[in-house]
Every structure is written in C-alpha cells, then in structure tokens.
Amino acid sequence: MAPRAQTGSGRLSRGLLLLWALLGTGLCHVGAKAEGFGQDARTSPPGAMFNWTAQLVEETYTNITQKCWELFVDLMRNVTVSELCEWKVIRRPYSSLQACLEGAADHLGYSYPNALAEQYIFQSHHRYFHNCTVEHQLYFDPPEDVLLAMIIAPICLIPFLVTLVIWRSKDGKAQP
C-alpha cells in the first residue's frame, strides 16, 4: 500500500485520545460519587459532579460512535478494492471499529450490543464488504428423491443382510 497524505486524522486522533483520557480518569463516569466530602459547599470537591441522564448518555454515545465510524472510514481509505475481502488486511480497521463501539458503551454504562452499534456494523458491511463472496463452494442438501433413496437403501439392506447371515448359519457345519 502506498502511503497517503494525512488529511485531518491527527485532529481526530487527538480528539479521541482526549475523550478516552477523560473517560479513563473517571471525570465522565455515570453516577460517580466523591467519597470523603460532605454535603455543604465548603467541603465539596473541586469541579462540578456530573449527573448524567439517560438522554445525555445516549447523546454522548451517539457522538462517540460517529467518531468511531470516521476513524474506521479513515483506516479503510488505505485498503484497495482488491483487498477488501482479505481478512488479514481488514482485520485491524474492522476490529478497531468494534472495539471502539464496545469500549465507548462500556465506559458510559450503555448496553452493548445496541441498535446504534449494530447500525454501524451493518453500514460497514453494506459499504465495504457487500461484494465479498465465499471462496469455498457452499454445500446444499440433495434433492428430496435422492435424499429419500440414500435413507431407504441402508434400511432395506439391513433385513437382507440379517436373512443372509441366518441362512448361512443354518448349514450346521463348523466353519474353519
């Protein structure tokens, strides 16, 4: 793959890094409580405590998932059309999209998998991987008449073989 010019991905990376740093330090955790501080204003911790509503969490997750998608699209720009169906090539961007969606949901206390994450996964398949075909031949069930013959033949053969064994053993002579 030929190196390509960087087009704003540095800003995106710095923004995602800042977001992950905030999420990782606990500044943005849902329902975080400060221990060791009283209820009055004189003993409260510095900075405001966030009381996130479900709507705010969903809005934040929506914004983060959009950034995850933009990062995925940016990574997929390096993949040529002939490489779109090679797992060795697309594994990194695809896995980073999934990890980003799942990690953001985990940090926000949002359920995963969820409808928004599934939408982005389906969108990636529709946009990039819709022409990928299975390399190996798919096996189908045989037609019903062939299947019926394959089932009945051994069933009918068993009584015939039992009859043959009994008939041969009636001879009464010792077999060497």
**pLDDT, tens digit, 9 for 90 and up, residues 109-165:** 888 889 999 999 999 999 998 888 766 666 788 899 999 999 999 999 999 999 999
In this prediction, residue 50 carries a pLDDT of 55
pLDDT reading at 7 higher than 50: no
Q: What pLDDT band is residue 81 in, cutting at 50, 70 and 90?
A: confident
Neighbouring CB atoms inside 10 A of 105's CB total: 20
Higher model confidence: residue 86 or residue 170? Answer: 86
Which domains are assigned to the chain? 69-129 (1.10.150.510)
pLDDT reading at 12 higher than 60: no
Q: Is 57 in contact with 30 (CB distance < 8 Å)? A: yes
